[in-house]
Structure 1
Amino acid sequence: MKLNRRARRPAENSSALSDLAFLLIVYFIVIAGFNANKGFLMNLPAKDSARTVLKDDLLRFELDAAGTLLFQGAAVNTAQVKDAIEAAIAGNPNIVVALSVDPQTPWQQVVSFVELAQGLAVDSFSFSMAKQ
């Protein structure tokens, strides 16, 4: 019994495949530079820098455990906060908005306030956890 054997074909030119592989590598390197997630951008101070803020330049807000926003001891809504920040920035462009957050505050309240401050183009923003 005789088996049919396939004849071996000569090796084809593989330079086309290596060119294609090289072009794919270059393509992925190039597009990797454009795929950057930007998220929430904040200008953070340098590690060793010290910045002095005058009391007149400081606008303090507080978020209590229930998520109520307080300004100068009174509960305020977002429209009042917006008006207060816009008035302060109009009077003093170097204003610093400081937010003190209770550890039990719902996170969405903090995010909403940060988005409001970002929308009002607040240059200097600070927040800290309130001491219990």
Structure 2
Amino acid sequence: MLLYVHSVLHTPSLNQLILSKFIAEDYLERHIMKMKKIYKNRRDFLIQQLKSTFSNTINIFGYFTVLHLIVEFNQVQFTKELLEKIQQLGVKVYPVEDHAIEKGKHYNRIIIGYGHLTTAEIKEGVSRLQRVILRIYILVSK
């Protein structure tokens, strides 16, 4: 009886067997390569949209990351008010300042995630981001 209980508790489950076969037959490798290509296309599209929208007023970091980029704006400070207005338009960005070890130096940088977005959503998100920034900075400069 003890041997039976031990064998039941320590044999691979159906999930483990399926995963083992998935890996052994290179399905995992193919899936990873497919997803890398998809994320690279999304990253390239986001970079192209940011550069065409904001031209030489931004610097982009993290070209080789998989799902996020850091964008530095030369003349924009991402205050709490600006971040709230961006979020009200349905665009989620993350201030680098919240994640920085050395505080007070990164108010002009945001993290943008793109892994879950379509190209249409990326394009619309960049457009909305531009709209909010222009609205606030045109009002401030008047």
Class of the TM-score when normalised by the shorter of the 2 chains: under 0.3
**Higher-helix-fraction structure:** 2
Q: TM-score, normalised by structure 2?
A: 0.23
Higher strand share: 1
